Each structure stands twice: as structure tokens, then as C-alpha cells.
A and B are shown apart, each in its own frame.
Chain A
Amino acid sequence: MGDRMSSRLAGRIALITGAATGIGRASAELFAREGARIVLFGLGGPALDDAASAAGGTAVHGDVTNEADIAAAIGTCGERLDIVLNAAGLIIPDEPETVMDETWTTMFDVKLTGTMRVCRATLPLLRQRGGAIVNIASVAAFNSSPDSVSYATSKAAVVSYTRSLAFAHGGDGIRANAVAPGWVRTPMSEHEMRLLAKKKAVHQKTNSGC
């Protein structure tokens, strides 16, 4: 059942950010199996190239915080673009009392502003034929958990940004939606798990008097 695929994305051109690993990469491979041609954009070096060859797509190495990199990725898409998936993300644990300006700014710059920059730059192409934008938010946008103040806040902003986008461009035939994943096994969440485990170990040591 899992392997039976249709051709739901036949002939579509998709730009996927954060495509080297995790949700971005899984989506790139699935979109490709559904018939889309993929431009995989992001950091990750060899992992991005690897993902591109798995998806039979084109890798464009670059950063969503850099306008020129974004322009290069869009240039690679060619004359048309149908789908934009913003999956680029990162996680730096922090808490309200001790969060540093630098962490907060980085989280917002990559996830919220990065998503905005990619959408802003791709809208003129998407508008030509209509298309779909999918932004990866998080359940953290709606439910709180420890150590995720800047992560959760920026993801909530992604949800709100997506609504504004959908409202403003619905009439252009562009749909914009967000997906809010829970715990999904990806290199990013594994990293966070390790950080949380480490912190818990420190707490246990502290509490046991070691």
C-alpha cells in the first residue's frame, strides 16, 4: 500500500528548502516519486547532494538568510514554479529567563524571515499559473514544552505568516498551508533529544548531590 503511488505532482516544479535531511529530504523524495522535478536548496554540503541524487533533482547550496542564494535557487527552477516547501529549520534550546538575543534573532532569521524571503521571492513566479506553498511549522506553535521559547515563538509566527499569505494570494490561485509536525525522527530532533538528555543527566546529578 505504501509504495503504490499516483502521479499527483506530474509535471510540477518544486523548490524545497532545508532539503538535505529530515522532513525536507523525505518530501523531496516523495514529491519526485509523485512526478515532480525538484530543486533542493539548503546547507548541508554532501548531504544535500546525496538528497538531490536520491530525488533525481538539482542541488543548490545556499542559505535562506541570503537573498543572493535564494535568487540562485529560484533561477535554477527555470521559467516556472508550482510548489514551494519551506522546510529549512534549526533548533537551539533556550528558556525565557536566559534566552540570548543572538539565539532569538538566529531562530527568527532562519525560520520565520527565511520562510518569508523565499515566499516573497517566489510569489511572482507562482502567481503566473497558481501554485502551492507549504511551510513547516510545529506543534510547538500551539503547545508549550521546556527549552523551546524562541523555537515555539518563531513557529507560531510561521503559522500566522502562512495565514496572511493564503488570504492575500488565494485569489491568485496560490494556496498556502502550514504543516505542524510533532516529534518526527530527523537529524534535527535527534540533536534536540541529545541536548535534552544531557540536560536531564545534569539535573539528576545535581539533585543526587554528585
Chain B
Amino acid sequence: MVIANRTRDVAAELVRQLEACNLRVHDVPFDGLDRAGLHALVGQAASRHGRLDIVVHNAGGCLWSSLEELDEEKLDATLALNLNACFWLAQAAIPHMRANRFGRILVTSSVSARVAMGGGTHYSAAKAGVNAFIRGAAFEHARDGITVNGVEAGFIAKPGRGTLSTPENMARIGRFIPVGSMGEADDIAYAMVYLASEQAKYVTGQTILVDGGSTLPETGFAVEQQWGIE
């Protein structure tokens, strides 16, 4: 396993934890989200192990801004991280995967690809682009033993981080979600491990929604009617 994280000390801590479970893990620095930087990153991962089977593009995020105030810097950075990186990672990984007739390209997408949140128009557009990337890439490489899939994450709690994950906000958000609470990172990871597995060989070009049912209600009124929102 090779981990690339912009915040190196977070990556180093993860390496320590995984090594404690007797896993071979390395973290590698990477120099930016452009084509050259991501190609170099994939190259490092492949040469370290002599092959590459699975690439997960989980890095993502949004520099929140209303549409009216959005500047080029925020738009470009959001597209580069969420969407453009898919292209460069996949492009670099495909030759290694095709050589072994096995590959799994996985992307963390978001329910934002299909529903709106104020201040995140550019993020939604990027994630909708991710879903289209998944379909296109899956189709082109379907005969190479490479599948391309994603997980559309709903509200996932990051305890200790982020304003949405304060205990009060988590409880409040949970009331709007059919299963009654925010999700955990593991909920996404279990879907990823399935998509990465040999057993998922007949699944390609898809995203699995892991959102606790949050995209089911027709409107917020439906939720209020069902469970009451005080």
C-alpha cells in the first residue's frame, strides 16, 4: 500500500498505525495535482511494488463560495482536486493495470453530484463530472480487466474536525437523514473494499450511494412529516 497525503504528518501517523497491523505501507510525497505530479506519484507507487492493482482517489474537498462570489482560483482548485486528478491518476495507472489484466480505479464521489448545497455549485459540478468520468473510463477499459467505480458519500462525520461534525451539528443533521445519523468513514470504506475486490468483477462504471438514505426524501417536508423536526 502506498499513501499520498498532502499533510505529511497525517500520512506518517497512518503508516505507523498500519505497520502496527503488520501491513507494508509507504507514504510518498507528491508535488501537486497537475498531470506531471500525479503521473510521478503513480510511477513511484508502481515501481516500489513492481505492479499496481488498485488506485483510490479519495482526496477531495470544496472551497466553499457562492456562485456570485466564486473566483477563478477557487473554481480551478476545486476542479483540479476533485475532477482533473481522476484523469491523471487513471491515465498513469492504466498501463500498469492492463499489463496484469487486472485493475480497480476507485473514486470517492459525493451525493453533491446529484443534489445541491448552497456554496458548493462548483463542487457539485466537479463530482457530477467525476461520475461521468467513471462511466467513460469504465467503458473504454472494460476489456482490459480494469473496472472503474465510485462511492457517492453522503454526510460523513469527521469527529474532531470540521464545523459540521461538532456534536450539536451531528445530532441536528442526523434528524434530516432517514437512518437517523451521520455516516462514518468506515461506511464508505466497506463499499470501497467491495468494489476493489475480485468479487466485484461484473460491476463497472457505477457509483454506489452511501448516504443513509439522505437523497430519498422528495423534500425536507417529507422528513418532517415522517419523523418530525423540531
Contacts and interface: CB of A to CB of B under 8 A. Distances in A.
A184 B178 CA distance: 32
A163 B216 contact: yes
Contact of B178 (A1, A166, A182): A166
B226 A168 contact: yes
A175 interface: yes
Contacts of A166: 178, 213, 216
Interface of A: 1-2, 163, 166-168, 170-171, 173, 175, 182, 184
Contact of B217 (A1, A167, A175, A182): A167
A30 to B, nearest CB: 9
B219 to A, nearest CB: 12
Contact of B212 (A1, A163, A170, A182): A170
22 contacts: A1-B197, A1-B198, A2-B198, A2-B199, A166-B178, A166-B213, A166-B216, A167-B178, A167-B216, A167-B222, A167-B226, A170-B177, A170-B178, A170-B179, A170-B180, A170-B213, A170-B216, A171-B178, A171-B226, A173-B179, A175-B213, A184-B202
Nearest to A130: B179
A200 to B, nearest CB: 25
A145 to B, nearest CB: 18
A195 B97 CA distance: 39
Contacts of A171: 178-180, 226-227
A175 B178 CA distance: 10
A167 B213 contact: yes
Contacts of A2: 198-199
A170 B181 CA distance: 10
Contacts of B180: 170-171
Contacts of B178: 166-167, 170-171
B199 to A, nearest CB: 7
A208 B179 CA distance: 59
